[in-house]
Amino acid sequence: MKTLISIIGTTGIGKTKLAIEIAKHFDTEIISCDSRQFFREMKIGTATPSSEELAEVPHHFIGNLSVEDYYSIGQYEKDSLQKIAELFKRHDVLVLVGGSMMYEKAVIEGLNDLPEANEENQRKLEKIFNEEGIETLQNMLKELDSEYYQTVDKGNPRRLFRAIDIIWQTGKTYTENISSQLKKRDFKVIRIGIEAPREKIYERINQRVDKMMEDGLLDEAKNLFQYKNLVPLQTVGYTELFKYFDGTWTLDFAIEEIKKNSRRFAKRQLTWYRKEENINWVNFENSLQESLSLLQNNVKM
């Protein structure tokens, strides 16, 4: 059976480097599931692999879109599976890498066929949120789907909007909607997670942001300021600098906010991965050796 090795872990932990080394070991190619690296104008702020790294191993889904393109996770699921099927004709093993949790899930498990957002429902919920606050939404969800209410990020109004909207549209709880049968994959998946102490993760994130600034993130963001309302740019590293450009924040404050928001994202990644059951964890200081010894027993060459 063909094998897909998925490399996961928090932002800044060394996934790119490990993925390249493993791909070289198996003489294979890399599929990116980092949704921010799809956009070619956002190289520095998304820590896209360097041209040297891209030259070491063939990569797919990196810099293949413009920030002006609309691209959904559903489309990515189709495109990535098509590319994987094509590459498996030449390789027995492929490497998937990226920190976008839902995009990895789209490849390895598939997405549920949830309906698109209903505009009228969204406007209704937005009105409730603006007039009555987030607690009313939380209580609505609790009544409609107490099970999902236990796990949802209750402070995130968008998550609440989405769940309630889907319940209204389908007449089924959100829990029922997302537990419907997913498509079986015809390849084996081995997930490898890179772990490190939390303070080490945070330290690396802070250093990485400083390095991005040295590498020219300010200019990159300045060139993208005109697109600041587009979806790909509603993301850490850019929204903070846009506030500096429009005079709301000082540059030093914006940089500190990038670090803080990146650490927050890493925390969300850790929470997500902790709930997953089939991850083989390796230490960040010795990730290649540990990964290869694990793969030796699990991958038929």
pLDDT tens column, 156-207: 788 899 899 999 998 989 888 877 656 789 999 999 999 999 999 999 999 9
Q: Where in the chain is the domain with CATH 1.10.20.140?
A: 119-178
Most confident listed range (69-78, 90-99, 104-113): 90-99
Tell me the mean pLDDT in the region 58-64: 98
pLDDT at residue 105 greater than cutoff 70? yes
Q: Locate tokens 């994202």: which residue?
A: 265
According to the model, what pLDDT value does residue 183 have? 72
pLDDT at residue 288 greater than cutoff 60? yes
Q: Where in the chain is the domain with CATH 3.40.50.300?
A: 3-111+182-298
- 3-111+182-298: CATH, from 3.90.1300.10, 3.40.50.300, 3.40.50.720, 3.40.720.10: 3.40.50.300
Q: How confident is the model at residue 23 (pLDDT cuts 50, 70, 90)?
A: very high
- CATH class in words for 119-178: mainly alpha
Reported as a single tens digit per residue, the pLDDT across 108-132 is 998 877 888 898 998 999 999 999 9
Produce one character per residue of 148-161: b if its CB has 16 or more CB atoms within 10 Å, e if not.
Answer: bbeebebeebebbb
According to the model, what pLDDT value does residue 182 have? 62
CA 147 vs. chain centroid, Å, equals 25
Q: Model's pTM, two decimal places?
A: 0.82
